[in-house]
Amino acid sequence: MLTHKGTQSLETDRLLLRRFKPSDAECMFKNWANDSEVCKFLSWNPHKDLSETKQIVESWVNAYSSNYYNWAIELKSNSEIIGQISLMSLDEKHLSCATGYNIGRTFWGKGFMTEALDVVIDYLFEEIGMNRIEARHNTLNIASGRVMQKSGMSFEGILRQVKINKYGEFYDLAVYSILSSDLKF
């Protein structure tokens, strides 16, 4: 049985993972929501204006509950929001979930997303009681796969032409997972 605690604040040396606040919309828009390169492999198009981002953030803020998990990734050094990590699906019966994430292009290649994923994995296993955490990425998004590998996830295989992207093209998904038994607490 899962012990839901919702989106609690989590810290690493460089990051604070916390609930989104309405005031985060500007930073989100500036750092990733309006960037076509960041949104290339996401299910949604870049936001055209700040009002679009404000609506999304407001919906997230209103959705917070004990079984809703969606973190803003904040740099502790300057309180800037640089990305997001959330649960995309949650399976209560089988104690499993899938996670997704994105981060502003300026912050790519600096280990921030791996750091964020690591602390979320620990939280979900230790505090919530997950047995399995899964993540998937478009096979063309190699950097996302590296994050999963660095966080200790095991490659499980490729789901061929399993989705159609926002451009109407089929694409393959690489599947990774980590089990609570893979970690030693």
Could you give the domains of the chain? 10-136 (3.40.630.30)
Here the tokens at position 102 are 């994105």
DSSP classification of residue 33: I
**pTM for the structure as a whole:** 0.95
pLDDT-derived band at 184 (thresholds 50, 70, 90) equals low
Across the beta sheet with 154-164, what order do the strands follow?
10-11, 15-18, 70-75, 81-91, 96-103, 132-138, 170-179, 154-164
pLDDT digits (tens, 9 = 90+) for 5-34: 999 999 999 999 999 999 999 999 999 999
Q: What is the mean pLDDT of residues 91-101?
A: 97
pLDDT digits (tens, 9 = 90+) for 29-85: 999 999 998 888 888 889 999 999 999 999 999 999 999 999 999 999 999 999 999
Q: What is the mean pLDDT of residues 98-103?
A: 97
State the Cα angle at 14 between 109 and 10, rounded to 5°. 110
